[in-house]
Amino acid sequence: MARASAKVILFGEHAVVHGRVAVAAALDRGAKASASFDAQRSVLELEPWGRVSYADDADDEVGRAYAAVLEAAGARRAVRTQASVDVPGGAGLGCSAAIGVAVVRALAEAAGEALDDDEVCRRATAWERVFHGNPSGVDVAIAARGGVLAFKRGEPPRPLHPPFDVPIAVAFTGECSSTKSMVEHVARQLERRPEVVGRSLDGIDVLATKGAAAIEAGMWHEVGRLMDLNHALLAGMMLSTEKLEQACNLARQAGATGAKLTGAGGGGCAIALAPMGAAAILQAWRGVGFDCFEARIGPRVVILGGGEAR
Ligand code: MEV
């Protein structure tokens, strides 16, 4: 069984599309997949949605993404892949990249091919492009590698090594958004007001760089403070929503050292850093009906291979 991690972005979503630094952390949940060459027609079966997509169905976006992966893998025979994922889609948790990476690995396993992480990411990027148009690559990088990474487009990802794992709380607002449209929304703003939006992206770059250093030093209060500032800059680009604001404010009141939207925004999830434990934050969120969970982030969080955290 092949696996890949879902993720949270601690710093730098959107800015990373425009060449700035991002910091992402794997969650100990994500996607798994297995493949076999026992098919007449290449098909991808996706749970929990009970979705069946054929690679030769040009009207089906998932089918086109599957075809793109098969082409990137140079697959010549029909192949049946079964995949499942345990994070919501369209919620900023890297659901699509995790499925893409798990599918790439499953196909390689079935073909008896050994792939390094760079090749996994290259093939999974073909999948991501179908959904996201212009992905920075951060989602597939963290899905493939796990742990915590500083990522800049066109450069090798840099693993970060905080001295210990920390709890993080994740709230799903129940509102889904399309990464592609949110990325286009920022690109339009950048085109219209290059100086103002460019300064925000530069500001996020500084926060992400400082955030990476604070993570490596285990300075979690500082990481949280920088996350709050990153959220404010994202909100200034109209990427937050009332529910995301509510989730971040409740988390801060309940003791989070920092909170922000994560992923594309416009809905999706908020995250709250909780080095002293996330129970009070989860209770506050549940009190107003948010679907939420606690996870740990750190260098050992990865769901590769046998699915055990390393
Ligand atoms: C989505 O998880 C992160 C974005 O920065 C898009 C990307 O990096 O491709 C919004």
Q: Where are the domains of the chain?
A: 2-160, 166-297
pLDDT at 303: 59
At the top level of CATH, which class does the domain 166-297 belong to?
alpha beta
So which residues are the catalytic ones?
A: 139
Question: Is the CB–ligand 1 distance for residue 267 below 6 Å?
Answer: no
Averaged pLDDT of the chain: 95
Over residues 16-47, the pLDDT tens digits come to: 999 999 999 999 899 999 999 989 999 999 99
Residues 222-228, mean pLDDT to the nearest whole number: 98
Quote the crossing angle between the two packed helices 117-132 and 179-192, to the nearest 10°.
80
Domain 2-160 and domain 166-297 have a common topology? no
Contact 45, 51 (CB under 8 A): yes
Q: What percent of the chain has pLDDT over 70?
A: 97
pLDDT at 300: 72
Structurally, at CATH architecture level, domain 2-160 sits in 2-Layer Sandwich (3.30)
Question: Is the CB–ligand 1 distance for residue 91 below 6 Å?
Answer: no
Task: Check whether 216 has a pLDDT greater than 80.
Answer: yes
* Mutate which of 96, 140, 179, 261 for ligand 1 pocket (most atoms within 8 A of beta carbon): 179
The pLDDT-based confidence of 304 (bands split at 50, 70, 90) is: low
Q: Determine the atom of ligand 1 nearest the C-alpha atom of 15.
A: 5
The pLDDT-based confidence of 302 (bands split at 50, 70, 90) is: low
CA of 136 to the centre of ligand 1 (A): 6
Q: Determine the atom of ligand 1 nearest the C-alpha atom of 264.
A: 10
Over residues 113-169, the pLDDT tens digits come to: 999 999 999 999 999 999 988 899 999 999 999 999 999 999 999 999 999 899 999
Task: Check whether 308 has a pLDDT greater than 90.
Answer: no
Tokens coding 169: 């709380």
Question: Is the CB–ligand 1 distance for residue 21 below 6 Å?
Answer: no
For the full predicted model, state whether its pTM sits above 0.75.
Answer: yes
* Mutate which of 5, 11, 16 for ligand 1 pocket (most atoms within 8 A of beta carbon): 16
